[in-house]
Amino acid sequence: MRSTFFLLLCTFWAISCQLDNNKPGNVPDSGLSLVTEPNPEWQYESLRLYPVMANARLLEEHNSLSHIKTLAEGMNTHGFRIMEKKQFGASEEWRHVLTVQNKSQDTVLLMSGDVVQGGNQDRAIAHHQVIMPHTVTNIEVYCVEKGRSSYYDQSAPEAEKQAAAFKGFYNVASPQVRHAIQNTGEQGEVWNAVARVTEQNQVSSTTGSYLALDQPGEQTSRREACLNFFKDKFQDADNIVGVVAVSGDKILGMDIFGHPRIFRQHLAALMHGYAAEGLGKTSGNATMSQQEVQKKFEEIVLLADKNAKTNSVGGKFSFQDNWVHLFSK
């Protein structure tokens, strides 16, 4: 009798788990689910966010990632800095390689599309990489400021110019720029993407910098209002690890992180890029169907399989046997 009861209990548990995995929005065995229910707190003008939730099992498995810092945090940490590898004129390769010096105790995540400002020209990080404490590492980058090739602060002491350290972290580049970096790997295509995004936002600069997005204007004001709207939206959610960003009938991008803290620390920088393209010159509603969003979400989440690294629509970055970032390309 006892064994029969135990068998029934196990059967009920197995069925419950299966039903839970098959809930709308869930991808079985991934530990991730997409929240598709309407919520006015997740939409500003034409830009709508679909939150991604992690279950308790996934959060426990990825708990070791909680200590990883973002590049924004790293650039504000004593002992961490990014510098030009070579001064201008030494080699044409100077544009595409920077040196990261990490004398701190922190482990820092560099994400493809992270933009740093200063140096001899503003750059975007080419590939995901984790910078370990007490290391010096060369990294590949792309220029996002076509018309400058000298240190950003001409009044700086000569020793500072020689070191050519960067002023700081800017934001995560917009989806078009990230796409050019991750899919073409061509500097010319990155510059073209920067030009399209700045033109869309009705700004320009003499050096063609991506950072021209911060110039005063109507589009800048709209973007700042959008960023203020979404500020701290997910700060109290300890199980949200990412978002799918949709504008009109288009998915701008998906960014899903292995730990809620990493997501929260990236959100403002990611939103800057999403808003730069998601608001555009229109203010219509997000019209893409939930079914279409769910399908794209599932394509990205399938990369959570430890044996998969990439597919035609997305990428995965892992560190110490856990995936850290799933993203659309």
Which tens digits make up the pLDDT trace of 280-308?
655 556 678 889 999 999 999 988 887 88
Asked if residue 271 has pLDDT above 50, the reply is yes
pLDDT at 311: 78
Structure tokens at 70: 């973002």
Tokens at residue 107, please? Answer: 């482990």
Asked if the model's pLDDT at residue 17 lies above 60, the reply is no
Residue 23 tokens, joined: 């809930």
* 36 alpha carbon, distance to own chain's centre: 21
Give me the chain's average pLDDT, please: 88
Q: Is the pLDDT of residue 9 over 70?
A: no
Round to whole Å and give the CA distance between 308 and 54.
19
Q: What is the mean pLDDT of residues 208-225?
A: 95
Least trusted range by pLDDT, from 2-6, 80-84, 294-298, 316-320: 2-6
Identify the pLDDT of residue 285: 65
Instruction: Compute the average pLDDT of residues 264-269.
Output: 96
- E strand or H helix that includes residue 249: none
Which pLDDT does position 280 carry in this prediction?
Answer: 64
Q: What is the C-alpha to C-alpha distance for residues 96 and 89, in angstroms, rounded to an integer?
A: 13
pLDDT digits (tens, 9 = 90+) for 161-178: 888 899 999 999 999 999
- Top pLDDT among 273 and 287 is at 273
pTM for the model stands at 0.88
pLDDT digits (tens, 9 = 90+) for 61-116: 999 999 999 999 999 999 999 999 855 445 556 779 999 999 999 999 999 999 99
Strand-pair category, 108-110 with 69-70? parallel
What b/e string do you get for 39-55 counting C-beta neighbours within 10 Å, with b at 16 or more?
Answer: eeebbbbbbbbbbbbbb
CA distance 158 to 162: 6
| CB-CB contact of 58 with 73 (8 Å) | no
pLDDT at 12: 39
Provide the greatest CA pair distance for the chain. Answer: 86
3-class DSSP assignment, residue 308 = coil
Give me the percent of the chain exceeding a pLDDT of 90.
70
Token representation of residue 200: 């869309």
Q: What is the average per-residue pLDDT within 206-232?
A: 95
User: Which pLDDT belongs to residue 264?
Assistant: 96
Query: When comparing pLDDT for 204 and 280, which is higher?
Result: 204
Share of the chain above pLDDT 70, in %: 87
pLDDT value at position 11? 41
Residue with the larger pLDDT of the pair 289 and 183: 183
The residues with which 125 forms a beta bridge, in sequence order, are: 141
Instruction: Rounding to the nearest 10 degrees, give the CA dihedral for residues 121, 126, 127, 128.
Output: 50
In this prediction, residue 13 has a pLDDT band, given cuts at 50, 70 and 90, of: very low
Distance of alpha carbon 192 from alpha carbon 298, whole angstroms: 30
Residues with Cβ within 8 Å of residue 113, at least 6 apart in sequence:
124, 125, 172, 173, 177, 178, 181, 182, 273
Across 253-257, average pLDDT: 97
